[in-house]
Amino acid sequence: MIDGTARGYYSVPLAFSIGLAVLLFISQHVFFAADAFIMTAYLTFEILILNDFCNAIKMNDLPPLRTFGIARFAITAGMLLGWLIGIATTNLPEFLPPLAVAVGVGMTITVAASTLVFTEKEVFSLSGIAEERSFEEKVVRNNNPNHTPDESIRQFGKAWQLSKREVDVLDPLLKGRTTLYISQNLFIAIGTVKTHTYNIYKKMGIHTKMELLDLFDAFQEENH
């Protein structure tokens, strides 16, 4: 199931593509519509990214000034790149129409960003940040002991430098729970569970749940 944030990310390249395609039709009204699509897409993307940065800062205790500085630099760099492309199109040979070249470059960047940078995994990872923050606040409000991992699992996660959220997913994983069960009991999307599971396996250098259980058994033997 795709949540609202993920749908927002998916809508950005679509809106960009529509706006760029419409630019090819020479008309004052069409240009206005194209600009509206492009600006809406850009502002939507900026709002989504800044929102996720806010949640990431709160969840992972990141330095706010440095984190927002990086975000602001990336956003400004994107605006500067677009401006430079526009300037470059004014110095093209006569046989190359400036508008068509600008649209072609914009389409290429949009497709590359949506398929290579913002993959499905990355989109679910980003959209899951807000859900993770909500989960954290819900656990604090309810003070539900069922959401507190066993101490041995907590130490196991710490040994592998897992984040707090990864440890929360690690606990039911080691107890044989399914992805659906973890999603329903931790109040997070299935895609978010899969992302955390992938990150846990990657940090531990494993690929299956059996390998995870073997590592945990070995850890318990060494520490008892």
Amino acid sitting at position 185: N
Residue 24 phi/psi, 5° resolution? -70, -15
* Angle between helix 120-142 and 164-174 (nearest 10): 90
Q: How far apart are CA 144 and CA 138, in angstroms?
A: 9
pTM of the model: 0.45
- The alpha-carbon radius of gyration of the chain (Å, integer) is 23
Number of H helices, E strands in the chain: 10, 0
Closest CA to 66 of 164, 78, 74: 74
pLDDT at position 9 over 90:
no
Contact between residue 132 and residue 59 where contact means Cβ atoms under 8 Å apart: yes
How do residues 149-201 score in pLDDT, each as one tens digit? 578 899 999 999 999 889 999 999 888 888 888 888 888 888 888 899 999 99
